[in-house]
Amino acid sequence: MLAYRRGEPLRAGRFLAEAAALAARLPPGRHIINVCADRYRFALGLTAALLSGKVSLLPPSHTPEVVRHLRQFAPDVFCLTDSADCPIELPQVHCDDRPAPAQAWRVPALAPETLVAYVFTSGSTGVPVPHPKTWGRLAGCVRAGAERLGFAPGTALLATVPAQHMYGFESSVLLALLGGGALVAERPFYPADISAALAALPRPRVLVTTPIHLRAVLADQAPLPAVEQLVSATAPLDAALARSAEERFGAPLTEIYGSTETGQIATRRTALERPWTLWPGVSLTLESGRAWARGGHLEQPTPLCDELELLGDGRFHLNGRLADLVNIAGKRSSLAYLTHQLLAIEGVRDGAFFLPHRSAQAEHGVTRLAAAVVAPELTAAQVLAALRRRIDPVFLPRPLLRVGALPRNSTGKLPQEALRALLEPAAREGA
């Protein structure tokens, strides 16, 4: 069994026949943005791209600004979508997993050096930075993860994260394809939908999720379907929440550490331990105060964006993110990149994104950004509308403060505390 949709099985023979038929319909361009929301269709598009020698582009968002840069990176790029009204301004191919004639099939073989995808991070200059992912390295990472998780063939994988996210790509698509599991087409969001989707699946079954989704599910006191394992990533998981999840679901919870650049490189049983344990072959070094990962499945030595304490024997503590990076709902960006996009808006004279005090952020640990802008001729609504075309909506500032000048110091820098002080009069005025 390769997949399930609404609890109904979808077999590998059908999948490969449909992927071959889709590959024959793809245009000649070598680069493809696969935005299919249905995970089965995403996997179809990924396989069709590989069968036809194409490379998938996985950007951090699909805003017009990001798409413009992707078109510069790959002028032949086209979009594969399963939506009837996809707003991406690129040539489009619709993926509907239409039935394909039955035929003899075999699992395609790919050379280890085959370029599968470029994943992108948000560059500080506003230009998405590509990171190549080859088949051999991706497969090595996923197989190491399957061994670490004790993943059994035939396991159904239900995920609350999109397939386009690096975590979702590895843990809900490639893990199924390479580990003999079955992916689930749907991506449930609400607690009742997650429970219903799990209950519709045969056992063994695994829930691939995030701290935010776990917290929402556990807040609902309804009985939860049993699973063989829980997997969490995208944001640090509180140990108490991990213990509660293990108790309610009756299964161990494994937290995964990684990044877009590196993929998954470490795990821990958060309910029982604080240290992380690295993937086989991966090592960490500290260079000029920054942690670098190398070896194993990594394409090249890669700097990490977190403060790590190395413990030896392939273990480390995670002590927090470096100052300029933000992670909201599993999406990463930097304050420098967001500020760059703000300043690029016509009519904006000065501006900056910043993090409010922790007490001013939303409940349940969801980070909210603030921004201050000098734009006398623009309303706050106009600035927000322009930002929405340039950045992912999860990073829109709440609040956006219109000010006469920013509190720059004598060197032109903007101390975070001075920016946060701008929120105090706004709070008193109910802004």
3-state DSSP of 387-406: HHCCCCHHHCCCCEEECCCC
User: Residue 363: what pLDDT?
Assistant: 44
Q: Which of 175, 183, 213 is nearest to 195 (CA)?
A: 213
CATH number for position 388: 3.30.300.30
272, 301, 321 - which closes a domain: 321
Angstrom distance (rounded) from CA 335 to CA 396? 12
Q: Are residues 314 and 331 in the same domain?
A: no
User: Residue 426: what pLDDT?
Assistant: 56
Strands (E), 72-225: 78-81, 92-94, 115-121, 129-134, 156-159, 182-184, 205-209
Low-confidence ranges of the chain (pLDDT < 70): 102-104, 123-126, 321-323, 358-367, 409-413, 425-431
**What DSSP designation does 140 have?**
H
62 Cβ contact partners less than 8 Å away, ≥ 6 residues apart: 33, 35, 88
Which residue type, as a one-letter code, is found at position 4? Y
**Residue 81, SS3?**
strand
Q: Are residues 165 and 95 in the same domain?
A: yes
Q: Which pair of structure tokens corresponds to residue 161?
A: 């994260």
Q: Which pair of structure tokens corresponds to residue 395?
A: 């990073």
Q: Are residues 330 and 304 in the same domain?
A: no
Q: Are residues 310 and 407 in the same domain?
A: no
At residue 213, what are phi and psi to the nearest 5 degrees? -65, -40
Q: Are residues 340 and 380 in the same domain?
A: yes
Q: Count Cα neighbours of 250 within 13 Å in the Cβ-side half-sphere.
A: 8
CATH number for position 285: 3.40.50.12780
265, 286, 321 - which closes a domain: 321
Q: Which pair of structure tokens corresponds to residue 36?
A: 């299919």
257 bridge partner residues = 266
Looking up tokens 């309610």, which residue turns up?
248
Q: Are residues 383 and 410 in the same domain?
A: yes
288, 321, 354 - which closes a domain: 321
Give the chain's domain count: 2
Q: Are residues 131 and 77 in the same domain?
A: yes
Q: Are residues 152 and 238 in the same domain?
A: yes
Q: Which of 324, 341, 318, 316 is nearest to 392 (CA)?
A: 341
User: Residue 411: what pLDDT?
Assistant: 45
Strands (E), 279-411: 282-287, 290-295, 302-303, 306-312, 315-321, 325-328, 331-334, 350-354, 370-374, 400-402
Of all residues in the chain, what percent carry a pLDDT higher than 70?
93
Q: Which pair of structure tokens corresponds to residue 33?
A: 């943005």
Cβ pair 116, 50 in contact under 8 A: yes
Q: Are residues 235 and 339 in the same domain?
A: no
Q: Are residues 405 and 375 in the same domain?
A: yes
Q: Are residues 246 and 363 in the same domain?
A: no
Q: Are residues 21 and 113 in the same domain?
A: yes
Q: Which pair of structure tokens corresponds to residue 219?
A: 């807040």
How far the first Cα of the chain sits from its last, in Å, is 54
Cβ pair 48, 23 in contact under 8 A: yes
Q: Which pair of structure tokens corresponds to residue 73?
A: 């990176």
The residue segments making up the domain with residue 104 are: 3-321
